[in-house]
Amino acid sequence: MTDDVVPRPGPRGPDPDCELCAADRFTHWYSEDDHCWVADCEACSVPMVVWNDHGTEPSEAEIEHMMRSLSSAADARFGPGRWKIDRTMRQVPEHFHAHARDDQWWSQRLTRPLSLYSGVGGERVEHRMGQQH
């Protein structure tokens, strides 16, 4: 693969121990641009927007941009009005990110099949339970 993500250095630069800076591509990626990327969270299986910079204080304009990117991913996944933005940063408090959660995310987080990375913005493909490959 030649398209490994190289984090854009922010004011503090990428943190080698930060999983969001690493930006590993395991799950479905909805979009990416110069400010952020949107992919399914590996823990919650819902869309999550992640700032390209390691830090907690993006500008208002960047936050607006990120919420727009997250919204289009969540609308496509759940349908408009069927999800809410959650900006609480539980697992990685040092790196700005936000989840789009539908009503069922909590009850289904362990049983929902995880999506697979299949290129940015492509069709969303899920692991099938009990099936090889």
Q: Using CB under 5 A as the criterion, which residues of the chain lie in contact with Zn ion when the complex forms?
A: 15, 18, 20-21, 41, 43-44, 54, 95
Minimum gap (Å) between residue 132 Cβ and Zn ion: 27
Query: Are 49 and 68 a contacting pair, CB within 8 Å?
Result: no
Minimum gap (Å) between residue 90 Cβ and Zn ion: 8
Question: In terms of CB distance, is 13 or 79 closer to Zn ion?
Answer: 13
Query: What is d(CA 60, CA 65) in angstroms, rounded to the nearest whole number?
Result: 9
Question: In terms of CB distance, is 25 or 54 closer to Zn ion?
Answer: 54
- Cα-based angle 95, 96, 99 (whole degrees, multiple of 5): 120
Question: In terms of CB distance, is 11 or 132 closer to Zn ion?
Answer: 11
Minimum gap (Å) between residue 126 Cβ and Zn ion: 16
Minimum gap (Å) between residue 123 Cβ and Zn ion: 22
Query: What is d(CA 13, CA 48) in angstroms, rounded to the nearest whole number?
Result: 21
β-pair type (83-86, 125-126)? unpaired
Question: In terms of CB distance, is 17 or 132 closer to Zn ion?
Answer: 17
For residue 101, which phi and psi values (nearest 5 degrees)? -110, 130
Token pair of 100 as six digits: 């789009």
